[in-house]
Structure 1
């Protein structure tokens, strides 16, 4: 059996080599493409970058200056995106380029809708080795790269530093530390949820599975088998759901919460600890300026210490095979994902770039709201199973339904995990 926990990459060692960003200039395959009079259509997900309009104007102008081609960027809602992609693939009406979530790239590649990018990547000196490994793995299907890493984020623990300081607590380094801190907060601040368990938030679950030594699924040959019902996975899920069912750190209402509900409750001052993305601290403070200086971050600990892997999320940029000029499309992808514009997008969104050379600043940061996430990504970035079928698992909400059944008391951990594993497999 092959483990599917995939490290983001040992970025610290590689980034210090000072790899040059690859944007600008000409590629080894002949330089910039002449796109005079041509227009590319690009789909980007709405909401990731609140300052998107200014960014799109700037990158479009730079692309036109470089190639002579214009770009039509259309923002798509995440909630509608998958169905829209499926419909456009079936009808042959896909855009030239689109942002594809890391769990969709393999699915669209399997459908025969995407152009392989290996030839373009390998023509750019040093680019292949510069890709963030976890994103590159997620963008690879049957040994070909179909998703160019664009940006990445990872979830870690976000907590109220003022509450911890008031109660003499330190950021948790083990699972027992989480319980100890939660009990202290519960006793001192009964109106605050110490660590709510959001029932409709799949990626909040897997760190506890991995932190206990379990797996979401394993691959043997060409056969995937879910391991959610293994002894180790059950132990992680029992700890996580036990924060609510055993320790009372959550609420009945949180059983149906999405991650957005969790963050809303945090900004309202009702939550002391939660798992949240590297892209969220800035937004939390913007939503409630009184939280400025009162938020900290910490890596998700393994059961007895260390770092529990966390899902390395983010997006690729993919070129669809309906494009009339794949070379021109690649030039735009390269402009967006490397160098100046990769760094600018990361700065504006709170995500990390998809190339290591643009991550040097984050890796060297001493900012308490940056450094822990960078460490989590470097030492504990992980991938969900890279298979076209995992999208169906997510669409059916197999993992979320399992957690909700446990939180609501409909099933015990053993039954819920066994049923979920069977459905996932």
Structure 2
């Protein structure tokens, strides 16, 4: 789950590179029990806490495998450089890792390229497999086979200004109608604030409204995806989101070009009464003027008391198909992806665990996370599990659809119809 801030052309080049990392070498995997196990993980702005946790996991692994060395490398989080790194690994097994961390939407392109090993049997025999919720397991499936172990999650909920809501006598919204009403009242009472910061370029901020109305980006039939973005339910969701871009809520001239990152900045700076932000935005909000003046609730759905489905973002761990240390790679993946180190990664980095029991532990430790867990437990959604998603994403199909409605260049029917054509072309390889 990444927040986009690059120009459309740059994004297109980057995402297409991620979609086509090259075709994996035909070198077959092996199962050597000695030598050096290579691990590639995402780099971080502040890597030291992550390195400390990974170092402890390495020590645990080496205690059980004293004849094996582990070489941990850190790869760029930026999509372009990371795609080039992975392309090289897929094309040259000698330079490839055995275990790799990757974004969960990258999985389908990597599988199509032949770079990831099928770990279905390995996870089926894992003692902690039953602790993974089904919807998370489903994000790692391609043609019924598992290619990743969900390692951490990123979910979005509704941040709101407690001081403003108290001053205006408002309660946190529990339905879409209440969300609209609260946003209008905030904007009316405080014209210098956005009722809710929403962005025309904020794909994963807008999709929950689509899903809450029963819509889908695409549906799968006979093993193939077809666009469903123009269904009546999807159109209702697009209308619900784009209706928020109104003069008395979030004026189009201010909000049509906002990205997810810009909505974080608006809320943190105190210029929005509400915003749809991920759990990872907490530090940014705490560093702004909104510190100590906000709380979080699940983003409400259409019916009172309902929760809008959130995008299930996050990263996975996987084993490269070319690995010459397959069993060792699986063993290390299970250690690092197990509850013990998911909890340590939460303490070190704030990464939300994927294992249900671990999430229960972190909420008991930090009740602030409860709205995100409630959102997760209510059921999350995912993008089409097809390598074509990278092309759809790179072409900014969803945000372009939103923006055409927001700016009045098209109505909902026209914009969703155009999006359907582009999406179907992507699935057809055009």
Interval containing the TM-score (normalised by the shorter chain): 0.7 to 0.9
CA contact (8 A) 2:256 2:406 kept: yes
Q: Is the 8 A contact 1:280 1:350 kept in 2?
A: no
Q: Which moved more, 1:177-186 or 1:214-223?
A: 214-223
Displacement, 1:182? 1.0
2:194 is aligned with 1:196: no
Q: Which residue of 1 aligns with 2:73?
A: 73
The more displaced of 38-47 and 147-156 is: 38-47
Distance 1:84 1:75 in 2: 7
CA distance in 2, matches of 1:164, 1:140: 43
Q: How far apart, in 1, do the equivalents of 2:253 and 2:382 lie?
A: 30
Counterpart of 2:24? none
Contact 1:244 1:407 in 2 (8 A): yes
User: What is the CA-CA distance between 1:363 and the residue it aligns to?
Assistant: 5.4
Deviations 1:88-144 (A, max 9, x none): 32444432221121112122122221111122222323x332213222111111111
Retained in 2: the 8 A contact 1:244–1:251? Answer: yes
2: distance between equivalents of 1:162 and 1:268?
A: 14
Separation in structure 2 between the aligned mates of residue 353 and residue 134 of structure 1, nearest angstrom: 14
Give 1:301-340 correspondences, 5 Å limit: 301-305=300-304, 306-340=306-340
Question: Quick check: 1:139–1:146 contact (8 Å CA) kept in 2?
Answer: yes
> Does the aligned pair in 1 maintain the 2:252–2:407 contact within 8 Å?
no
Is the CA contact (8 Å cut-off) linking 1:338 and 1:358 kept in structure 2? no
Distance apart, 1:284 and its partner CA: 1.8
The count of aligned residue pairs is: 389
- Partner residue, 2:214: 213
In structure 1, distance between residues paired with 2:204 and 2:117: 29
1:237 is displaced (CA, Å) by 1.0
Could you tell me whether the CA contact under 8 Å between 1:102 and 1:135 is conserved in 2? no
**Aligned twin of 2:41:** 43
Which 10-residue stretch deviates more, 79-88 or 161-170?
79-88
* Cα offset, 1:360, TM superposition: 1.9
**What's 1:413 paired with?**
412
* Cα contact 2:309–2:379 (8 A) shared by 1: yes
SS at match of 1:284: helix
Superposed counterparts of 1:119-158, under 5 Å: 119-125=121-127, 127-158=128-159
Change (3 A) 1:72 1:102: same
Which stretch has the larger CA shift, 132-141 or 59-68? Answer: 59-68
Moved more, 409-418 or 343-352: 343-352
Q: CA deviation at 1:83?
A: 4.5
Contact kept, 8 Å, 1:207 with 1:309, in 2: the verdict is: yes
Listed as ranges, the gaps of 5+ residues in structure 2 are: 1-30, 425-430
Please name the residue that 2:3 is paired with: none
Which shows bigger deviation, 102-111 or 82-91? 82-91
Shift of 1:176: 1.2
Shift of 1:408: 2.5
Give the TM-score taking structure 2 as reference length.
0.84
Decide whether aligned partners of structure 1 residues 366 and 84 sit closer, same or farther in structure 2, where only a CA change above 3 A counts.
Answer: closer
From 61, 64, 71, the counterpart of 1:63 = 61
CA contact (8 A) 1:197 1:241 kept: no
After superposing on structure 2, the runs of 4+ consecutive aligned residues of structure 1 that deviate more than 6 Å are none
Q: Which residue of 2 aligns with 1:106?
A: 108
Number of the residue aligned with 1:11? none
Note closer, same or farther for the CA distance 1:52–1:251 as it changes in structure 2 (3 Å cut).
farther
Give me the TM-score of the superposition, normalised by structure 1. 0.85
Cα distance in 1, alignment partners of residues 50 and 362 from structure 2: 22
Q: 1:52 aligns with which of 50, 53, 58?
A: 50
**Separation of aligned partners in 2, 1:328 and 1:413:** 52
Given that residues 175 and 301 in structure 2 are in contact (C-alpha distance below 8 angstroms), is that contact kept between their aligned partners in structure 1? yes
CA contact (8 A) 2:268 2:284 kept: no
Q: How many angstroms apart in 2 are the aligned matches of 1:54 and 1:205?
A: 37
Distance in 2 (alpha carbons) for counterparts of 1:338 and 1:284: 30
Q: Residue 427 of structure 2 corresponds to which residue in structure 1?
A: none
Structure 2 distance, partners of 1:51, 1:284, is 21
Contact 1:197 1:254 in 2 (8 A): yes
User: Mapping of 1:148-297 within 5 angstroms?
Assistant: 148-245=149-246, 247-285=248-286, 287-288=287-288, 290-297=289-296
SS in 2 for 1:164: helix
Report deviation, 1:56: 3.4
Q: Is the 8 A contact 1:34 1:67 kept in 2?
A: no
Number of the residue aligned with 1:14: none
Aligned-residue offset at 1:308: 1.4
CA offset at residue 246 of structure 1? 5.8
Q: CA deviation at 1:381?
A: 1.4
Residues 196 and 243 of structure 1 are in contact (CA less than 8 Å); yes or no, is this contact kept in structure 2?
no
Shift of 1:263: 0.7
Q: Answer yes or no: is the 8 Å Cα contact 1:195–1:250 preserved in 2.
A: no
Following the alignment from structure 2 to structure 1, what is the Cα–Cα distance between the partners of residues 181 and 56? Answer: 49
CA distance in 2, matches of 1:85, 1:193: 41
Q: Secondary structure at the match of 1:256?
A: coil
